[in-house]
Amino acid sequence: MRFHLDGVEDALRNLEAIEEAVSDRELQADGLEALEPVVKDAQSLAPVDQGDLRDSIEATVFEDGSVGVIIRDWKGHFFEFGTVHMRATPMLMPAWDANVSEVSNAFADRIRARIEGAPRVNRSRTALRTEGL
């Protein structure tokens, strides 16, 4: 019995084209855009005295290349997690919980559009043929 797999070379070339079409920087930009609803909700939950805390909430790219929402103001973690003398008034987790589906869907839509826009060598499917059965 012999097996023959058709279309493997085309599939590999298509994967290489997708890799070229979807760079890390583009993925990070898509992630930052998808996180905007979390930023907006977290800012709306932030206590406003002078506005420093609220204005320091932003989406960012971390050193390892991942993206997330942070509070840059030095007192942000006190509000988010509380202290011995101050009750927590979280902003990030409630904002994330309220928007996780929207963020996931928005990110997936952006990635899907990039993949579908990638040039393709051949749109045929890979097929397995057997001989001698």
| Dist. CA 99–CA 105, nearest whole Å | 10
Reported as a single tens digit per residue, the pLDDT across 75-132 is 999 999 999 999 999 999 999 999 999 999 999 999 888 888 777 666 556 555 666 5
pLDDT at 1: 67
For 45-71, how does the pLDDT look when each residue is reduced to its tens digit (9 = 90+)?
Answer: 998 888 899 999 999 999 999 999 999
Other CB atoms closer than 10 Å to residue 22's CB: what's the count? Answer: 17
Using CA of residue 43, residue 27, residue 29, residue 114, what is the dihedral sign? negative
Residue 121 has phi, psi (to 5 degrees) of: -75, -50
Domain spans of the chain, in order of start: 24-117
